[in-house]
Amino acid sequence: MSVEVIAIGGYEEVGKNMSAVKVGEDVIIFDMGIHLDRIHIHEDTDIARMHSLDLIERGIIPDDTLMKDVDGKVRAIVFSHGHLDHIGAVAKLAHRYEAPLIATPYTMALIEKTIKGERKFKVTNPLKVLNSGEKMQISPDITLEFVRTTHSIPQTVTPALHTSEGIIVYSNDFKFDNHQTLSPPPDYQRFRELGRKGVLAAIIDTTRAAEDDQLKTHSEKVARLVLRDIMEEPLKEDSGMIITTFSSHIERIQAITNIASESKRKILLLGRSMERFCTMAENMGILKLPKSASIYGSPKAVNRALARADENRSDYVLVTTGHQGEPDALLPRIANGKTMFNVKPGDNVVISASVIPNPMNIANRNLMERRLKSSGARIFTNAHVSGHAGKEDHRDFIRMLDPKHLIPSHGNLNMLAAYTELAEEEGYKLGNDIHILRNGQAQVFNGGI
Amino acid sequence: MSVEVIAIGGYEEVGKNMSAVKVGEDVIIFDMGIHLDRIHIHEDTDIARMHSLDLIERGIIPDDTLMKDVDGKVRAIVFSHGHLDHIGAVAKLAHRYEAPLIATPYTMALIEKTIKGERKFKVTNPLKVLNSGEKMQISPDITLEFVRTTHSIPQTVTPALHTSEGIIVYSNDFKFDNHQTLSPPPDYQRFRELGRKGVLAAIIDTTRAAEDDQLKTHSEKVARLVLRDIMEEPLKEDSGMIITTFSSHIERIQAITNIASESKRKILLLGRSMERFCTMAENMGILKLPKSASIYGSPKAVNRALARADENRSDYVLVTTGHQGEPDALLPRIANGKTMFNVKPGDNVVISASVIPNPMNIANRNLMERRLKSSGARIFTNAHVSGHAGKEDHRDFIRMLDPKHLIPSHGNLNMLAAYTELAEEEGYKLGNDIHILRNGQAQVFNGGI
Amino acid sequence: MSVEVIAIGGYEEVGKNMSAVKVGEDVIIFDMGIHLDRIHIHEDTDIARMHSLDLIERGIIPDDTLMKDVDGKVRAIVFSHGHLDHIGAVAKLAHRYEAPLIATPYTMALIEKTIKGERKFKVTNPLKVLNSGEKMQISPDITLEFVRTTHSIPQTVTPALHTSEGIIVYSNDFKFDNHQTLSPPPDYQRFRELGRKGVLAAIIDTTRAAEDDQLKTHSEKVARLVLRDIMEEPLKEDSGMIITTFSSHIERIQAITNIASESKRKILLLGRSMERFCTMAENMGILKLPKSASIYGSPKAVNRALARADENRSDYVLVTTGHQGEPDALLPRIANGKTMFNVKPGDNVVISASVIPNPMNIANRNLMERRLKSSGARIFTNAHVSGHAGKEDHRDFIRMLDPKHLIPSHGNLNMLAAYTELAEEEGYKLGNDIHILRNGQAQVFNGGI
Amino acid sequence: MSVEVIAIGGYEEVGKNMSAVKVGEDVIIFDMGIHLDRIHIHEDTDIARMHSLDLIERGIIPDDTLMKDVDGKVRAIVFSHGHLDHIGAVAKLAHRYEAPLIATPYTMALIEKTIKGERKFKVTNPLKVLNSGEKMQISPDITLEFVRTTHSIPQTVTPALHTSEGIIVYSNDFKFDNHQTLSPPPDYQRFRELGRKGVLAAIIDTTRAAEDDQLKTHSEKVARLVLRDIMEEPLKEDSGMIITTFSSHIERIQAITNIASESKRKILLLGRSMERFCTMAENMGILKLPKSASIYGSPKAVNRALARADENRSDYVLVTTGHQGEPDALLPRIANGKTMFNVKPGDNVVISASVIPNPMNIANRNLMERRLKSSGARIFTNAHVSGHAGKEDHRDFIRMLDPKHLIPSHGNLNMLAAYTELAEEEGYKLGNDIHILRNGQAQVFNGGI
């Protein structure tokens, strides 16, 4: 029985991840993400109302039209975690396949939200929840397993397909963090077991593969320590305090609110996406907000909260969206004087995020920081650790899994090439057992493990 | 008689140049520029309708309020050249001084345009034209001389004040270019004569002082050669050709139109500021446009011209504004599909300009280039040479002028510091005979040369 | 009584720190360091045998010849900490002054070592030990205080001079680290008290002032966490393990040996300077080495130890010199195959240091890493945190001390300029109350606090 | 008949180029170069005395041992130009093949020199000279053609193999320069004709493919202009003048000596490799040295010449080796005070070369420049244009040749990937018709054009 890996999206960019694995006549799809960066190219893009084919043409969602030429039956659409570049196209693409959507509970909740927000298509695929550590029979020949891993959003898993030809591992995205508070460490033992059983192919994300440092990515414990060192003193002072981070980064938000809760200040979680992710995480028992915390998402509620905070700034900690300086997000709007909260000299702004390095983010962030500074704020930048594996984590992972074939993904050609050089240090060779695919290409494995 | 140099603007930024020199009781002001980069900070900025004090507070024009404490009489406001960071604030500030405005003819014509566009203030200062190479008596003790130099706009001069205490040279901005076609080389001999007569102080722009390369800035002859090598073949082909450069860079526009005129194509100079600078330069006999060239400035006329060009793309060369990707300029609007000209596969776009390195320009340029490419255009970037002196030009200039004191200007502290290190290599010492001033500070020279 | 700060060395470079403070007729000197980077300029430099004037001419030690024109009496030579760029010139310069050397015990022990190694001069100045937190009367008008701070070597202090004109603080070098294991946190309370009493001037090192990140420097606790995450697994494996860090960084060496001691491996501290710093620190009760650790400094002993380690590589952890790839240090020699230890595939090399960014270090490190890799080693780079204050630590420090005047030091002009911009954000102004000095210049303060 | 391209060396690095093309049973080898950068890894490398297998193991020459498994007969070894990374391994590898060496006259003369310098092997292959523009029958089925191109050494050609399956083009290295004085422009018309006839595959060097600028590489005419602007004035002064450039860059040396010959100074071409390349080029009538020029290569002769120049520095222009700061080359030795020529304040040093960007070159150059500056010299850096095609030259070349398949070469994976992205803009697709090979891999083309 031959196995085929089909690169649908995310093999030429950081974004719009989608891959398919065909085992005999059965096809399993992994992820259906969007490419946020492409939205800027056409100013009139209104995703919720647009048709898939238009979005495909604009490069915003994966071009899955090639799937009609794939001779097989899609048995499942499997999601690794809840970030938009992995689930954001589900409402545009899933209805074309007669197959269930499979994800961990938190990821599934986010998928349901996405489906509800869609105006163009009706997605009625069955939803099947699978917890990390659990398995599910997909077809007579294929069993899906969710192996526990860590990332910057809760309940991220590394799906593994058990087939007669060997195991196929889809690890996109992950980091190896042994010190998160909401998630246990990755299941290294299980990865090693899979390696011993025989991994035919591993699809791996390459987000940080082109970086110079030969390091393991810092743990969230480092972020907690750095945030505490930054926040502790200013929390005692009279000035305002605003913190911004990724709305979906529940682990980080837990850390921030924990530190803030040791002060006398009330905590306000503000912004629409902050509400979406945090409310859901709190309802599911993942995020444990201190009593002093409240969440406001609607513009009206946010503005009323900001007005109160403006009057008694030393009584509040604001946790907001807008870490990339996106013009419509909350912190950039505060910086631009468009809300009821007036930044004043001495106010502290902690940016618990790195700049996602594209020119528009860099420009937006720069503008936001200059505006905040010209109002007198003090800014702490990059109080952050990455959610993606570093070079030496990748090396460890290769050694654990010992896959027969490697397929780097989730990056431009430069990043796939950098991962390839790392893998070649570990004994692989491009074209022999490490394969660079372009969107739309497939790699066939005959013979199995 | 003491001499005092007063740093009003441009000593903490690249922009809003304004300096004053006080000799006994007489004060001469050099330049009144704006700081375009600051306009982004406040979105609601409408320069033409705003009051000086608001613009000063926003950091957009020099803060000349300190001049009311200067005990002396302003005798003249002297302009070195016609760029906005040197003349752009004239309509906001000049009316406060009872003194004539002095400039070369082309610079003066641009000043008059600026004054006419002003909605808030009425500027009625006398206008006195002075040609390069000429002198003018400013007061019994002071004679102004315009020494010929080169830059990226016609009729740039290096003003020099002859006083009993020595000569004060204001060289902001300049490059040393021996091969321009519209302007003769700088008057090196005169600079050396001034040096021998005795230069008390020289105020020098530091735009490129922080660059690594120890080079003399490339001549426009290099730009001409590079442009010819790029344009010659595509001009013979069937595809469209668009070239963008600085509207005020008449020398470059002359070169571009000369090369284009060797083909059979008609040349369209398009965009409001392209019309302003080129029409004026043509009327004054500076720019000699080929017969095949036409200028269109109003949106309507531009659009009609673009519609014609769209239908017969191989019959035209478009010379447009928008080299920095500014969203409202012409080329970015073409790239964004907002005009009658549709970019098609094979069209050539030559960007005869470097990116002015601030994050928003970088982002805008990147977005424009990605849009052009996604329409199939071929792009030639950075077909350009700088208009500012390189490190080794600065060294030559110091050796020619042999000034007793040096005052670096037109840069942030990092750039002033880099110039200082260069001057220290030539025997100066910070605090002794090279002085770093901040906006609002003054340096007094007692004793003269 | 006037106060004068005299910049002798370290105001145009990172290295050869030396400053003098003159209060009335009394002069106090701070630090006598060398500039290691300049040694490469002349290949034949043999420091131990060379005369001061030659070394001054070559830019290797501070040019203190200007001190003969200072009208006053040197009362003390005070050392802030034991790094070579602060104490390395003591044997060349101290004998010219009839004044005691004052330092904390560990720093003093290192000074004595330096004096004993000198071949050219005989230094007989009295040695006076002062502990952090203690004061010493220097002259009727001046009291010296050692305020506790943190850095990357034990017993670093921030000396403060109490005078009738106000306090002069010499904080060069420091970081703010609340989580070191061998040193308590900086005495923030005392810094605030000094601020309230009245600081006339503060001399501050600017090592990291030109970096972009607006952060507080990470604590050693981060380094401990990162090292543990890196080392834990490989220590259990069969392959070799080498760690290199700064010999003088006793806090780090303590952390490394603590982690290593949890394994079954023996720990070998290897290299001449490793022996010098560690033996002294252990004898003084600062460093607590585990029982499994031994120190070898002489080439013979080192080689014998390496031979044993080569045979049973999984029984040892090697802690070596050579983190910058300096050709004569131990790790580069191991990498180059010049010792008894043969690097083999699978060996782990942890570089617990950043590259000190000059071109020769970058080249040496690159060559060392390529050699290690071509032998099959796995390298972990930059497992490190800085020992110098970040931008936001500097801001905190300015707010604590509230000094009337600031004098940035220990950097090139670009770094002093970057610190100046930071101080200007805090309300200072260059030339008014923040002063950039060049080596050889002085700043006089009349009027006191 | 199948065609196979075998990547032997230069597909994972910039250096040691060697490729083979197998057409039916006939094999043609292109280039046999060395990888200079690897020599540093083992300090004891003595190339002239070492065996091929040792050099292969050290990564210094291509690993051609795989050729023994290639089922076919080597009919010719063809050289594109005379740089060491293309001919430097000829003496180590050519004797293993019973096949003639084929090259243009100047390249062949350099090959003969290399063979004569060899101590280990005896190379007796027949030498066949082929001029650019000419063809030679290699086997019944294969004709070799040398198409005229330009680079930074005279008589560079682009070899093309005419076969029944289509043409195979080997273009490694080249630039498109229409304004060289010693070489006519590339034969664009012939490239287009080959394209029309049918190019099966093109092997292309990627040296500058990863650079950002979308430009055509500047012509040597730019270098001539820049050099004249730099040199003209200093040549009239009393100070010394040294110029350093690539010894093999005869076009540049012609330009330098032409400019220098307009002054009254004598021109000294100094250094062993300067003698080798220039004498040969002069003897062959390629280089036309002015009468005022002399060449000295032996250390003794160089030193005597330097001694004369030292005494009457304003009577000479020195043209030397050492542009990368290599410690044993002439200019670095002058900078280090190891010759009879003492650099003095005011001396001018023109570096007509860029830094070949590896860490050791950067360090060596930095050290050399600092030494020259500390002696008072004025340095002009980077008075240079590249000898390699820019991105837009590559695009033009692809359009001219219209090859069925592309094989990027002469770069690390990052550079091959960058070229691939460029080719994909032109309609190629990785894995389909653009192929990334690793050293030792082969690409088979069945079916021909």
Domain boundary among the residues A326, A345, A380 is at A380
User: Residue D226: its chain B contacts at CB < 8 A?
Assistant: 215-216, 218, 222
Contacts of C300 (CB under 8 A, 6+ apart): none
**Burial code of A33-68, b = ≥16 C-beta within 10 A, e = fewer?**
bbbbbbbebbeeeebeebebebbbebbbbbbbebbe
Based on the fold, state whether residues C356 and C396 are members of the same structural domain.
no
Measure the CA–CA gap between B420 and B434, rounded to whole angstroms: 7
* Across B237-257, average pLDDT: 97
How confident is the prediction for chain A on average, in pLDDT?
96
Q: What's the confidence (pLDDT) of residue C119?
A: 85
pLDDT-based confidence at A304, cuts 50/70/90? very high
Q: What's the confidence (pLDDT) of residue A173?
A: 96
CA D46 vs CA B383, D38, D60, D120, D211: distances in Å: 45, 12, 11, 11, 34
Coil, strand or helix at C416: helix
What is the tens place of the pLDDT at every residue in A391-437?
999 999 999 999 999 999 999 999 999 999 999 999 999 999 999 99
Coil, strand or helix at B337: coil
Domain that holds residue C283: 220-380
CB-defined contacts A:B, below 8 A: 39
What is the tens place of the pLDDT at every residue in B129-185?
999 999 999 999 999 999 999 999 999 999 999 999 999 999 999 999 999 999 999
- Answer yes or no: do C436 and B441 touch at CB < 8 A: no
C-alpha triplet A345, A349, A350: angle, nearest 5°: 155
Q: Which residue has the tokens 């690993």?
A: D63
Based on the fold, state whether residues A38 and A129 are members of the same structural domain.
yes
Strand residues in C285-413 grouped as ranges (E): 293-296, 316-320, 348-351, 378-380, 405-409
Interface of C with A in 213-252 (CB under 8 A): 213-216, 218-219, 221-222, 225-226, 229-230, 233
CB-CB: which of B420, B438, B441 is closest to C413? B420
* Across A344-369, average pLDDT: 95
DSSP notation for C159-203: EEEEETTEEEEEE-S-B--S--SSSPPP-HHHHHHHHHH-EEEEE
How confident is the prediction for chain D on average, in pLDDT?
96
Q: What's the confidence (pLDDT) of residue C43?
A: 74
Q: Which residue of chain A has the CA closest to C223?
A: A222
- Answer yes or no: do B218 and D221 touch at CB < 8 A: no
Would the pLDDT of B415 be above 90? yes
Based on the fold, state whether residues C189 and C233 are members of the same structural domain.
no
Q: What's the confidence (pLDDT) of residue A45?
A: 76
CA B358 vs CA A225, B354, D43: distances in Å: 33, 12, 45
Neighbours of chain C (3+ CB pairs under 8 A): A, B, D
What is the tens place of the pLDDT at every residue in C75-129?
999 999 999 999 999 999 999 999 999 999 999 999 999 999 888 889 999 999 9
Contacts of C311 (CB under 8 A, 6+ apart): none
* Domain at D250, CATH number: 3.40.50.10710
Q: What is the DSSP letter of D341?
A: P
* Interface residue A376 vs chain B (CB under 8 A): no
DSSP notation for A204-238: EE-TTTT-S---PPPPHHHHHHHHHHHHHHHHHSS
Q: B400 to chain C, minimum CA–CA distance in Å?
A: 26
- At position D309, the amino acid (one-letter code) is A
The tokens for B383 are: 């077909």
Based on the fold, state whether residues B260 and B346 are members of the same structural domain.
yes
CB-defined contacts B:C, below 8 A: 39
- Terminal-residue alpha carbon distance, chain D: 11
User: Residue A417: its chain D contacts at CB < 8 A?
Assistant: 413-414, 416-417
Q: What's the confidence (pLDDT) of residue C36?
A: 85
pTM of the model: 0.96
Coil, strand or helix at B56: helix
pLDDT-based confidence at B40, cuts 50/70/90? confident
Q: What's the confidence (pLDDT) of residue D121?
A: 86
Strand partners, B434: B406, B430
Contacts of D270 (CB under 8 A, 6+ apart): D295, D296, D297, D302, D305, D306, D318, D319, D320, D321, D330
Question: Would you say the C-alpha torsion D174, D178, D181, D186 has a positive or negative sign?
Answer: positive
Based on the fold, state whether residues A141 and A237 are members of the same structural domain.
no
Q: What's the confidence (pLDDT) of residue A447?
A: 77
Q: D68 to chain A, minimum CA–CA distance in Å?
A: 21
- Answer yes or no: do A360 and B371 touch at CB < 8 A: no
Based on the fold, state whether residues A19 and A91 are members of the same structural domain.
yes
- Answer yes or no: do A362 and B359 touch at CB < 8 A: yes
Which among D86, D87, D125, D79 has a CA at the least distance from the CA of D104? D79
Q: How many domains does chain B have?
A: 2
Question: Would you say the C-alpha torsion D76, D82, D84, D90 has a positive or negative sign?
Answer: positive
% of chain D with per-residue pLDDT over 90: 93
- Answer yes or no: do D414 and A416 touch at CB < 8 A: no
Would the pLDDT of D336 be above 90? yes
Which among A410, B16, A356, B346 has a CA at the least distance from the CA of D425? B346
Coil, strand or helix at A444: strand
What is the tens place of the pLDDT at every residue in A171-212?
999 999 999 999 999 999 999 999 999 999 999 999 999 999
What is the tens place of the pLDDT at every residue in A26-55?
999 999 999 988 887 777 778 888 899 999
CA A248 vs CA A160, A183, A242, C408: distances in Å: 24, 14, 18, 42
- Terminal-residue alpha carbon distance, chain B: 11
* Interface residue A373 vs chain C (CB under 8 A): yes
pLDDT-based confidence at D215, cuts 50/70/90? very high
Based on the fold, state whether residues B240 and B350 are members of the same structural domain.
yes
- Answer yes or no: do B359 and A370 touch at CB < 8 A: no
Would the pLDDT of B278 be above 90? yes
Strand partners, C3: C23, C445
Q: Which residues of chain C have pLDDT under 70?
A: none
Coil, strand or helix at D381: coil
Q: B298 to chain A, minimum CA–CA distance in Å?
A: 24
D222, D244, D399: best to mutate for the B interface, most B CBs within 10 A? D222
Based on the fold, state whether residues D230 and D278 are members of the same structural domain.
yes
Q: What's the confidence (pLDDT) of residue B133?
A: 97
Domain boundary among the residues B380, B402, B419 is at B380
pLDDT-based confidence at D449, cuts 50/70/90? confident
Strand partners, C163: C166
Q: D81 to chain B, minimum CA–CA distance in Å?
A: 25
Say how many residues make up chain B.
449
* Across B262-288, average pLDDT: 97
pLDDT-based confidence at B246, cuts 50/70/90? very high
A358, A361, A365, A366: best to mutate for the B interface, most B CBs within 10 A? A366
What is the tens place of the pLDDT at every residue in A139-154?
999 999 999 999 999 9
Coil, strand or helix at A381: coil
Interface of D with B in 98-117 (CB under 8 A): none
* Across D333-352, average pLDDT: 97
* Across B394-409, average pLDDT: 98
* Interface residue B374 vs chain D (CB under 8 A): no
ipTM of the complex: 0.95
Q: Which residue of chain C has the CA closest to D364?
A: C360
* Interface residue C371 vs chain D (CB under 8 A): yes
Q: Which residue of chain B has the CA closest to D219?
A: B226
Measure the CA–CA gap between B440 and A375, rounded to whole angstroms: 21
Domain boundary among the residues C380, C411, C429 is at C380
* Domain at B140, CATH number: 3.60.15.10
- Terminal-residue alpha carbon distance, chain C: 11
Q: Which residue has the tokens 């008449």?
A: B250
* Interface residue C407 vs chain B (CB under 8 A): no
Based on the fold, state whether residues B332 and B405 are members of the same structural domain.
no
User: Residue B395: its chain D contacts at CB < 8 A?
Assistant: 378
Q: D357 to chain A, minimum CA–CA distance in Å?
A: 16
Q: What's the confidence (pLDDT) of residue A323?
A: 97
Measure the CA–CA gap between A90 and A77, rounded to whole angstroms: 9
The tokens for C341 are: 């230890």
Q: B305 to chain A, minimum CA–CA distance in Å?
A: 24
* Across B405-427, average pLDDT: 97
Would the pLDDT of D218 be above 80? yes
* B81 marked as part of a ligand binding site: yes
Neighbours of chain A (3+ CB pairs under 8 A): B, C, D
Q: What's the confidence (pLDDT) of residue C120?
A: 85
User: A357: exposed, middle or buried (C-beta count within 10 Å: 0-12, 13-18, 19+)?
Assistant: exposed
Based on the fold, state whether residues C183 and C261 are members of the same structural domain.
no
Measure the CA–CA gap between A193 and B238, rounded to whole angstroms: 63
* Interface residue D436 vs chain A (CB under 8 A): yes
Q: What's the confidence (pLDDT) of residue C41?
A: 78
Which secondary structure element, helix H or strand E, spans residue A255, and what is its range? helix A250-261
Q: Which residue of chain D has the CA closest to C332?
A: D41
Based on the fold, state whether residues C128 and C230 are members of the same structural domain.
no
CB B110 within 8 A of CB B87: yes
D179, D214, D217, D381: best to mutate for the B interface, most B CBs within 10 A? D214
pLDDT-based confidence at A278, cuts 50/70/90? very high
Based on the fold, state whether residues D135 and D160 are members of the same structural domain.
yes
User: Residue D420: its chain A contacts at CB < 8 A?
Assistant: 413
* Interface residue C379 vs chain B (CB under 8 A): no
Q: What's the confidence (pLDDT) of residue C37?
A: 84
